[in-house]
Amino acid sequence: MEATPSYEKGKLYDLAVREVMNDPNQPRKYMDPQALKELSASIQKHGVLEPVLFRKGGDGEIYLVAGERRLKAAQLAGLQTVPALFTEGNPAEIALVENLLRQDLTAVEEAEALDKIMKDFSYKQEDLTQVIGKAQSTISEILSLNRLPQPVRDECRGDHSIPRRVLVEIAKGKQQRTMTSLFKKYKDSLTETKKTGTKKQAMSKAQSLANGMQAVIERILKLDVSAWTDEDKNTVHTAAQDLLQAVEEKLEIQAESEQPGDNSAS
């Protein structure tokens, strides 16, 4: 029977990817598929530039402590081994700190991870200030997100675009239905902002054209036409008529396309 390998703390090892087990205490619950694909392509070209952290379980198995994205990307890249550092520290705490420092977690993942470590290791908020180096007021705000209704947290867990400050304000609601309503209003406001932005963009094109025309008018008014021949005058006059006709035709075509169809009997 083969002896179980022994490892030294802080020493670098090349571990077989297939032998590394995922840590069930990993705070991250979501991985962006596109970001993972990009990391895999980078690893395929340059290799794993930063070692993952691992620990040894009581059963002799090797458990990942930090670097889940790197390990998964290495697997996708077809690597057989990954550089890894052995650690004997608190696995959950190390994983949490590594992720928080990298800012990989969404606001909800961060809140749930802090809540878990407080419950698992009987930490107080004061303890967390030492662990992750954030002010207690900030930690209190982060933890308040655990008050959000479960459907809201589920929707936000994999979305990095939702700012923590927005969720903190929503979490101040006294009842679950109040928080759900506030979250819906926030989403509706995003939709309305997007529509308004599109409308403004369309208006800006029309305004830009009008501004150009106004500039031409001002230029014409400043011209000295005393020396113009009849041919010169006719040329400019024809161009002006062509411009006016083009604008009228364009607007008429648009007006006709917006009219409802004729449903009368033939």
68 catalytic per annotation: yes
Q: Are strands 62-66 and 52-56 parallel, antiparallel or unpaired?
A: antiparallel
Name the percent of the chain in helix, strand, coil, to the closest 5.
60, 10, 30
- Helix (DSSP H) and strand (DSSP E) numbers for the chain: 10, 5
Rounded Cα distance between 186 and 21, Å, is 40
The one catalytic residue in 2, 19, 61, 68 is 68
- Distance of alpha carbon 255 from its chain centroid, rounded? 40
CB within 8 A of 85, min separation 6: which ones? 10, 11, 12, 13, 51, 52, 53, 54
- Distance of alpha carbon 234 from its chain centroid, rounded? 59
Rounded Cα distance between 200 and 186, Å, is 21
Tell which phi-psi region holds residue 6, choosing left (phi > 0), alpha (psi between -120 and 50) or beta.
beta
Name the residues annotated as catalytic.
68
